[in-house]
Structure 1
Amino acid sequence: MKTAIGIDVGGTNSKGIILNSEGEILNEYSVPTNDDGEGKWRETILEVVQHLKSVHYEPIELIGLSCPGFANEANSCISYMPGRLLGVENFQWEAYFATRTFVINDAHAALIAESAFGEIRGYKNAILLTLGTGVGGGLLINGELYQGLSQMAGHFGHTTINAGDDELSILGMPGSLEYALGNYSIKRRSSGRFSSTYQLVQGYKDNDPFATWLWLDSLRKLSLAIASFANALSPEIIVLAGGITKADAALFTPLNAFLDVYEFRPKEKQTIIKQAKFSDLAGAVGAAAFAIEKAKNRTTPAIGLPHI
């Protein structure tokens, strides 16, 4: 298979792309996920697939789907996803799409995209953080995606930043990085003043005092998390992906200033911080790349990275 559809099921929007084996995005399509608590969001995903198939010049017989949660060992479905996307657990996408389909955790997919075609290419040890509705992550060790027990490695968003915060993440962690930065919590964190991180960043750009405090407080916590990950794992590079990275300088300039304070830099060495090449399409690109590689040998274990 040289071409595949990649779908990234996000908490806010679901994005689809058509990808070839050279990493070129041939087409893309995005719609609101509509996670209404009744499982109707699956119809939205089917719409994305049908649209992409309809606009391509030849039949597409392969789909990669990235989604929050833990994929099963066969990469045929998400086996565990509490709290969101009702009906996703053990849902068999291949039968639903009537197309050969491989399923992978969304942050793991983003790491694959950046390792195969993006900013992590050429590095052996790296961390990728996805900043969007929540905060996810992926870990590259010696050139391979490390998935760990139950394929749950890389859930950096559930690192505790403030243990005194009673707000628990979906994995039960108090004061998590995901709560401090994720789009899902912005209404609570801002006492209802902002309904999205986009609005918060706009307020920061407009010099609104409250928005400035809240945004910089979130980035300070992100910097503390990044410095902690660097201390524990010492990666060569940390790449940030996801919709929040579209804030560009409003994100990276304060973040780097905080890292100047908190990151341990022996002999002036510091961790490279970069924005993902594929931004909020990283999950979809990685899912398609993963499917192309898996289709070469369906019995391949769900580890490693694509060698496209």
Structure 2
Amino acid sequence: MKDVILGIDIGGTNTKFGFLDRDGISLTQGEISTAEGETVHDFLRLFYQEVQAKFKKIEDEARLIGVGVGAPNGNFYTGTIENAPNLKWHGSVPLVELLQSYFKLPVFLTNDANAAAIGEMIYGGAKNMKNFVVVTLGTGLGSGIVVNGELVYGADGNAGELGHTLVNVKGSGRVCGCGRRGCLETYVSATGIKRTVYKFLADYTDYSELRGVSFNDLTAEMITQAAKRGDKIAIDCFEYTGKVLGMKLADTVAHLSPEAIFLFGGLVRAEELLFDPVRYHLEKNLLSIFKGKVKILPSGLGLNNTAVMGAAALAWKEMER
């Protein structure tokens, strides 16, 4: 019988999970809307039912030995989710304690981007790297930082909030879910690029297939596909998004001097429409001693279950210490 870890990725829109062995191979996986239920207790009850239904398919060949979770504002030290702006569960949520009451197994929690960084280090493109950054481009923007082969948690477990560094410091920036204005994730994320599309549609008269789509119906995937079909507004939005991200990553390089920065999430499906402007504006804004040294790469884990693999890798890593 094979030992497996339940990897859980709690996103602002959906929560994905999978049962993974030590080599990162998923035996089965599933998904549930993070908006299910009125409270975190309602959500976890429904989530547990979904997990149990999936596990029944493999229970004859697998033994569940632990749980790893990546979540917005997940704190490795305290086992809590702290005031996550993209989740409807407010305040401090004792997620590890709650999950342990269901699974009766070791549970490990960290920021969703930190989990992705651990997955990248163990299973992905950063296997032989000691200094790198992973940037997650989902509903919000997160980042996981690895220095000298170790994930950086900081003094209180909250290090790596690149999404809440400021782009617009004049007080007129976009309102963020955290309560401030001008945060990077309001410009660079699936939600951020939607806001950019609507600003560009208002500011320019160019034809765009996106003009007839309501804000609530618009998705990052629709913007990506429109750009790939040559829609000028969509292309310009990716150029703008890449410019902002490249500029801010130049600051990150000045702080950390990483070997590489990995990007993953829905926006990465735009491929060079995003990567080209990011690379250009990174180089343009780098201090001269860093120019030509830092690679911008897509995640080596693919696009489908990267965060789930990272969450499982977290648990494997901690259980093997």
- Cα 1:43–1:212 change in 2 (3 A) is farther
Is 1:282 the counterpart of 2:286 in the alignment?
A: no
Which segment is superposed worse, 151-160 or 203-212? 203-212
In the TM superposition, what are the counterparts of 1:75-90 in structure 2 within 5 Å? 75=79, 77-82=80-85, 84-86=87-89, 89-90=93-94
**Alignment size in residue pairs:** 296
- Cα 1:136–1:280 change in 2 (3 A) is farther
Equivalent-residue separation in structure 2 for 1:102 and 1:32 (angstroms): 21
- Cα 1:210–1:267 change in 2 (3 A) is closer
Higher Cα Rg: structure 1 or 2?
2
SS of the equivalent of 1:252 reads helix
Give 5+ residue unaligned stretches, structure 2.
Answer: 199-213
**Contact 2:137-2:267 within 8 A present in 1 as well:** yes
The aligned counterpart of 1:214 is 237
How far off its partner does 1:94 sit? 1.0
**Contact 2:24-2:123 within 8 A present in 1 as well:** yes
**Contact 1:64-1:102 within 8 A present in 2 as well:** yes
Q: Deviations over 1:130-166 (max 9, x none)?
A: 1111000011111100100221111111111122333
Equivalent-residue separation in structure 2 for 1:204 and 1:195 (angstroms): 14
Which segment is superposed worse, 282-291 or 46-55? 46-55
So what's the TM-score if we normalise by structure 2? 0.82
- Cα 1:89–1:267 change in 2 (3 A) is closer
- Cα 1:172–1:79 change in 2 (3 A) is closer
- Cα 1:125–1:16 change in 2 (3 A) is same
Amino acid at match of 2:292: K
SS of the equivalent of 1:291 reads helix
Is 1:175 the counterpart of 2:182 in the alignment?
A: yes
Amino acid at match of 1:234: S
Higher relative contact order (CA 8 A, sep 6+): 1
Equivalent-residue separation in structure 1 for 2:319 and 2:241 (angstroms): 41
1:251 aligned residue (251, 268, 274): 274
Is 1:58 the counterpart of 2:62 in the alignment?
A: yes
**Contact 1:14-1:33 within 8 A present in 2 as well:** yes
Amino acid at match of 1:105: N
Equivalent-residue separation in structure 2 for 1:242 and 1:139 (angstroms): 17
Equivalent-residue separation in structure 2 for 1:42 and 1:72 (angstroms): 19
Is 1:69 the counterpart of 2:73 in the alignment?
A: yes
Give 5+ residue unaligned stretches, structure 1.
Answer: 298-308
Percent of aligned pairs sharing the same letter: 27
The aligned counterpart of 1:242 is 265
Q: Deviations over 1:230-269 (max 9, x none)?
A: 1222111111122221222322233223334333453863
The aligned counterpart of 2:161 is 155
Q: Deviations over 1:36-77 (max 9, x none)?
A: 7644443453244223312222331321111111325254x3
Q: CA RMSD in A?
A: 2.6
SS of the equivalent of 2:305 reads helix
- Cα 1:32–1:246 change in 2 (3 A) is farther
**Contact 1:160-1:173 within 8 A present in 2 as well:** no
Which segment is superposed worse, 210-219 or 129-138? 210-219
Q: Deviations over 1:162-212 (max 9, x none)?
A: 223333334444212100022234544433556211112222222223222
SS of the equivalent of 1:217 reads helix
The aligned counterpart of 1:204 is 227
Equivalent-residue separation in structure 2 for 1:207 and 1:89 (angstroms): 44
The aligned counterpart of 2:218 is 195
